[in-house]
Structure 1
Amino acid sequence: MTTASRSHRLHRRAGIDRVAALPPQFERVGDTWFFRRRGHGPAIRVSDDEYAGFMRTGLRAVMLHVVALPIFATLGWLLLARVLPDIGGTGRAALFGVVLSLIALALFGSLRHYADAPARLLAHRPPERPARDPDASMQPSYGTIVGVTLVLLFLAAVGTRQPPGFYVTFASVSVMFGLILFVRRLRFDGSLTAPQRERLQQQARAARAARAAERARATKGASLWQGLLLLVFVGLELAFLALGVVIGVGVAQAIFGQSGEGLSFGIFMFGFFPGLALGLLLFWPLEKLCKRWTGSSAIHAFDWIPPGW
């Protein structure tokens, strides 16, 4: 049976704490685990085995949804081609961006349903500690939302290496992404009371000061060669991701007999998602080697960026 500590290491490697929203709902106090719904509800005591079980369920849910996204994305593209055969390539690409965003939003909602499973299973158990203020660290600010959306749109505007439809879809997804984050932030702010809002602002100021001090300590303690090697690994892993995409798109071209100049957007997307999955498999050994040689993870090399950005 998977122990709690092993599950903790597992979900950290898989990034479940950023995707499945499960670990932030659990806290270790002494030798006891407490569950807090959404990270701030009343604390309910759970055993090590229950915690490990929830982590295993979360990992399976993440893997299931990762596999489901490219499948539903492909089906969405085929459905658009079937329902709207006469629409132009640019219009279809823009509409596909909206459909893809809605698919991702639906899968995210499904994943949140999995994340809320402990609350349903533990509803009969009395809480032992009161609720506390919600955590705003994972909520991006309005300025961050606008800035990220504009950067993504800029990347879509200057891109030339891929088919035009790819950049149209990218821009459409970027706008939808910004709108979804904006509505999410509005809902979060609307749920706060005035005292909660003031306390969260004080916590944000304290967190910024703590991050600055931590960066100063990390910079002082890390050797120059380790920092440079970490940057090399970051570049290599990104290159391997790109290589996987290139291989995936190349295989799709070979299957459908299309050349690079005449590559359609549908064939490109057909190879893009499997290629991305291949890229992840290719760079995973590099990630292990990076941790061994530098003591740090290339995936988490930018964790110093505030979570709310």
Structure 2
Amino acid sequence: MCTAAGGPAAFDVLLSVLRDITPVVEALPPDAALADVTGSTRYFGRDAAGLGALIRVRALARYDVDCTVGVAANPLLARMAAHDGPPGAVRAVGGGPGEAAAFLDGKPVGALHGVGPKTARTLCDYGLDTVDRLAAAPLPTVQRLLGARLGRLLRDRAHGADPTPVSPNAPARSVGADHRFDRPELDPGRRHRALLALAAELGLRLRADDQVARGLTLTVRYADRSATTRTRALPEPTAHTPALATAAYALHDALRLQRARVTAVALRAEDLTGAAGTGRQLTFDPRAENIRRAESVTDRIAARWPGLLVGPASLAGLPRRSA
């Protein structure tokens, strides 16, 4: 598992460096990728951790992009190793007897891939607040709490088991933006405001490229370094800021975060296609047409004066950061 901070350019660099090492690379937008280096260790004469160090050196030396590398026997442990500490390192989980259990021991249950805030709260309410306690719990107990399928899946993961293969893919045609809060944000109103800023930025970029999106992905990152990602198809292909913002709000509100300590939110417009080949639903609402006309005006202003931020008044003073 490799992650790189720095936006789309850094993500492209990460994929390029990984594919120089192995053809088995699974892109995980916006900033991560899984790579199976089983077939590369003999060719390069290095073990997996050594290849992780080589990846970091190449990315830094050739492109001035730092990345974090997690090395383990399966994707679950590699993901957790990559997020187990500050960015910019190679962290390995050994494959020997007991090494996975030692790595997982004492970690919050929310650190397991697939455990969102709601599931974590359910487990914590019953005292299963760490990975080792979840691993020690009887399977029937966990299944009564979470359901048969999810209970078995998460208990297996608590034992460090993950049979999921690395599936080579091409990065989807998408564009994204993210916002990192100065401190963990509890106020849903401020999170909505950040999402509106991201929707406005995505809409502007899509319209500038004459593209529309068929789907939208929201990623929410928390103070415990866990994250939740949700995707939904849009009712119709669009680059219209209000439509993107409405979908972002719906994704956010469906998570029912309540008192979650959110450190960052990211939006990614998915499955892009040319705007010329798509239609849109006509409306008799004059306000909708006025908003579209206003968008075209602000787009021309932004194109002429790139340093000038033009958009909803509620975004005044809120920084925008691309992903």
TM-score by length of 1: 0.25
Which one has the bigger helix percentage?
A: 1
TM-score by length of 2: 0.24
Which one has the bigger strand percentage?
A: 2
